[in-house]
Amino acid sequence: MIWQTTNGITIEIASRYEAEHSKPLLKKYVHSYQVNVINDNEHAVQLLRRHWFIHDSDQTIREVEGSGVIGVQPIIRPGGNHTYMSWSVLHTEIGKMHGNYTILNLDSNKEYVVKIPEFLLVADHILN
């Protein structure tokens, strides 16, 4: 598991290669990942936006931006967390992802950015 704390928000990420959904002959390598957003602050926050950078090992970079995560803009109470699962498709056997979330402090009504740590996406057969 990879993790990073920014402005009192800890982001934990665990990724997994999904061999049963991948098609290597078609250069389709599917990875799932679980994200846990933990609010270590003394105030409630809301996750407003996401901005991902997805890198294939052939130097292709894709950006994904949007409102919330998985269709929601969760409110996370002090000491609470929000966990979700998602997935990404690479066109190479190895890649990586990283990015940031825009968070709203619900006490001060101020927005700030929280880093999503970089994590590797590796097809299992590469490791053997």
Domains of the chain as residue ranges with CATH: 2-127 (2.60.40.1470)
> Using one digit for the tens of pLDDT, what is the confidence trace for 41-86?
999 999 999 999 999 999 999 999 999 999 999 999 999 999 999 9
What average pLDDT is seen over the chain?
96
Tokens representing 98 are 């990283």
Confidence of residue 122 (pLDDT cuts 50, 70, 90): very high
Closest CA to 7 of 49, 51, 38, 53: 38
pLDDT for 128 equals: 60
Report, in angstroms and rounded to the nearest whole number, the Rg of the chain calculated over CA atoms: 16
